[in-house]
Amino acid sequence: MSIKAVISVIMYILLAPVAGGLMEGLDRKLSARMQGRIGPPILQPFYDLRKLMNKQVISVSVLQSSLLLCYLALMIFTGAIFFAGSDILMCLFVLTTASTFMYFAAVVTSSPYNTIASSRELIQIMTYEPAVLMAGVGFYLVAGTFSVAKIASSSTVMLTRMPGLFASFVLILLIKMRKSPFDVSTSHHAHQELVMGVKTEMGAQNLAIFTITEWYENAFLMGIVALFVVTSNPLSFVGAALLCAAVFFFLVLADNACARVKWGQMLKMTWLFTFFASGVNLLILMLIR
């Protein structure tokens, strides 16, 4: 591994939770403004995290903490693979494995609320996996490699060759980042939940671990969004930042403008869009190779 890759991994490990926390704080602030409220300070998620870390640990299941730590470790490993410039397909496989550990951490409590939310979480995984894997295949067809470093150093702007795959990936971000209308297993909005889905039986440090892991995941997902426009030209990083900001604003806007749909509607809408937009895009890429 090169020195540049090592530095990138260290920066991800140290800065991704900071970026994820700031994204959540900005999400709350933007949501409040869209609803005509002032909203909490942007640093409020960090204050909440500190409060959780100082609370007494009362776990419903002794296995939950271990499973959540595995979830955190795998998510850090996912981002480390990506920002080291390694295999993007491996990143996506490890990402799915991390989600599986999160499912087990929720269902191990045997709570009826967690059981229902966990079953919905499995449906969500099944819903977004095709779009995620198709995006990885699309990068390979355009760049001729699964290497993140080689994709990022290409002279081709991936977005120009993969518009359908990009649209599908942005759509499933509504699921991955738990935004309406696809926040069927867990919602960040109190008015939509009597209980907090997969987080119902998580408290104190366990909930803090879950929150930090989500911050790592959100930073990683924005890294993939950036990969659609990053090239060998240094100015492309400016375009990547603008694209990430635009996608983030769209997700917050959709979260506040859309009502939650049922899981069956989510599955149908997402798969239809994914297999049409991504499928046609992949077919075109294979024909013009």
Neighbouring residues of 189: CB distance < 8 A, sequence distance ≥ 6: 180, 183, 255
pTM: 0.92
- What is the domain range of residue 9? 3-288
| Residue 281, number of CB atoms within 10 A of its CB | 22
Residue found under tokens 């271990």: 66
- Residues 6+ away with beta carbon under 8 Å from 208: 49, 52, 53
The answer, yes or no, to whether residue 196 has pLDDT greater than 70, is no
Residue 70 · residue 54 · CB < 8 Å: no
Q: How far apart are the first and last CA of the chain?
A: 31
Contact 191, 260 (CB under 8 A): no
Q: How confident is the model at residue 244 (pLDDT cuts 50, 70, 90)?
A: very high
At 113, the pLDDT band (50, 70, 90 cuts) reads confident
Taking a C-beta distance cutoff of 8 angstroms, is the pair 155, 231 a contact? Answer: yes
Hunting for tokens 């870390």 — which residue is that? 53
Residue 87 bridge partners (DSSP)? 147
Which letter does DSSP use for residue 6 in this model? H
The secondary structure of 193-224 as a DSSP string is -SS-GGGTT--HHHHHHHHHHHHHHHHHHHHH
Lookup result for tokens 């996506």: 92
pLDDT band of residue 192 (cuts 50, 70, 90) is low
| CA distance linking residue 199 with residue 46, whole number of Å | 18
Residue-wise pLDDT for 117-149, tens only, equals: 888 888 888 899 999 999 999 999 998 899 999
Domain count, the chain: 1
